[in-house]
Amino acid sequence: MVVSKSDLIKFFDTVQSEFDIFVPYQTEREKDDLVFKQYDSEKEFVLDKYRTIDPVRTLFYLPSESVLPPSAKTNKRIIAGVKNCDLLGLAVLDDALLNDNFVEPNYKIWRDSSYIISCDCTDALQTCHCVLLDNNPYPNNDTEGDALFDLNVSPVEDKFIIEVGSKKGEELLEKIKEVCTLTEVTNNDKEIREANHAEVLKKVRDINSDFTQDRHYDVITENKEASVWKEFCNECVQCGACTNICPTCYCLILNDESTKEEFRKVRSWDSCQLVGYAEVAGGGTPREHRWETFRNRYQCKYNFMKFNFDKLGCTGCGRCISACPAEIDLREVIQSLQEV
């Protein structure tokens, strides 16, 4: 189905009393930067372009929230303009936080109450590198039943092609139909979409043309002691920005805020890059050197998460590159390891 942009705005205006709506907006400070904000009918949102600064994870796994009792709100939410790198990030988090043995209470509430409308990328940032991970800058909507979105929209001129990815998506489409006039997808629409896909794919490939496309992450294990780690980590200040900004990081610390009457626990983000992270009472730590701490993030993203979830923990969003005050580029780290 196809919906016009003006109709989609009409839809958001109509349902904003029923849903909390989050969409990307340009920031005031840097026009190129996009951030998820609560829907404001007065301001123009940006569904397409590229990823936001913060991963969508921050709407599902808050920097700090009470887990005993759970503090997540059950209001229904629409989160629109999510990019493929973030959908892939949520897939990792789903495996980690909603599995047969463990259900993270807040994450489940946030996830259950949210309807995700993803959007194809139409542009790319210099740090974008999904193609190096064999991912595309638009969701895979060919696989039946495996879609990571509820609805996906592909921009075609001043309209969007809507794809349904789940039961929740069907539900949402029904609501859209109540407000908007939908038309059938024409062959011309499809051709434009294909051309857009090819164009953005080429753009991300061109950005990453200096890097080997064929990547093997066993180079991390094979070169555990390589000088590459020590060289790159020389610049690292162990601030933890790379992990806080990552779409798949979920390390946490628990603070006990219990009283005599009631047990209460607050969960906050932690980072394996911070000093003292794995240190135990008595001072023992499995990662004594700074370069081992630095290396741990790579092992975790490319080896451990692959082992645990059969998915890479890196989706190619490139946020850790943008956020790093030392300008460490993980693409270069992997490239250097491949060339050892």
Partner 1 sequence: MPDKNPYEVLKADVLDVIEESPTIKSFYLKPESPFEFATGQFIELSLPGIGEAPFTPSSSHYETEKMWVTIMNAGFVTNEIHKVQKGDVMGIRGPYGKGYPLDKFNGKDVLLLGGGVGLAPLRCLLQTMIHDAKDYKSITVCFGARTPADMIYQDQIDDWKSVGGVRHLCTVDKCSEGDKWHGKTGVVTVLLDDVIIDPKDAIAIVCGPPIMMKFGTFSLIDKGFKPENIYLSMEKKMYCGFGQCRHCVIGKYYACKDGPVFTYEQIKDEEKIWD
- The residues of the shown chain that bind partner 1, judged by CB under 8 A, are 67-70, 96-105, 224, 250-260, 263, 265, 267, 270, 272, 277-282, 284-288, 292, 299-300, 303-304, 307-308
- Which lies closer to partner 1 via its Cβ, residue 75 or residue 221? 221
* Residue 297 beta carbon to partner 1: minimum distance, rounded to whole angstroms: 11
The DSSP-derived string for 147-189 is -S-SEEEEEETTEEEEEE-SHHHHHHHHHHHHHS--BPPPHHH
Shortest distance in whole angstroms from residue 33 CB to partner 1: 29
* CA separation for the pair 219, 340 (Å, rounded): 9
Least distance in angstroms from the C-beta of 167 to partner 1: 17
Question: Closer CB to partner 1, residue 126 or residue 255?
Answer: 255
CB of 306 to partner 1, least distance (A): 9
Report CA dihedral (206, 207, 208, 210) to the nearest 10 degrees.
Answer: 80
CA distance 338 to 340: 6
Q: How far apart are CA 325 and CA 125, in angstroms?
A: 17
Cβ-based nearer residue to partner 1, 110 or 277: 277
Cα radius of gyration rounded to whole Å, the chain = 21
CB of 71 to partner 1, least distance (A): 12
CB of 190 to partner 1, least distance (A): 39
Q: In terms of CB distance, is 43 or 265 closer to partner 1?
A: 265
Residues 325-334 as b/e (b if ≥16 CB within 10 A, e otherwise) read eeebbbbebb
**Residue whose tokens read 């397409």:** 48
The whole-angstrom separation of Cα 68 and Cα 265 is 5
Cα distance between residue 167 and residue 163, in whole Å? 12
Based on CB atoms, which residue is closest to partner 1, 190 or 289? 289
- Could you tell me if 83 and 140 are in contact, meaning their C-beta atoms sit under 8 angstroms apart? no
Q: What count of other Cβ atoms lies within 10 Å of the Cβ of residue 212?
A: 13
Q: Is the dihedral of CA 181, 187, 120, 107 positive or negative?
A: positive
Three-state DSSP state, 265: strand
Exposure letters 182-195 (e unless 16+ CB within 10 A, then b): eeebeeebeebbee
CB 74 → partner 1: shortest distance, Å? 15
- Closer to partner 1 by CB, 31 or 280: give it: 280
Q: Minimum Å distance from CB 126 to partner 1?
A: 30
In terms of CB distance, is 69 or 325 closer to partner 1?
Answer: 69
> Whose Cβ is closer to partner 1: residue 32's or residue 279's?
279
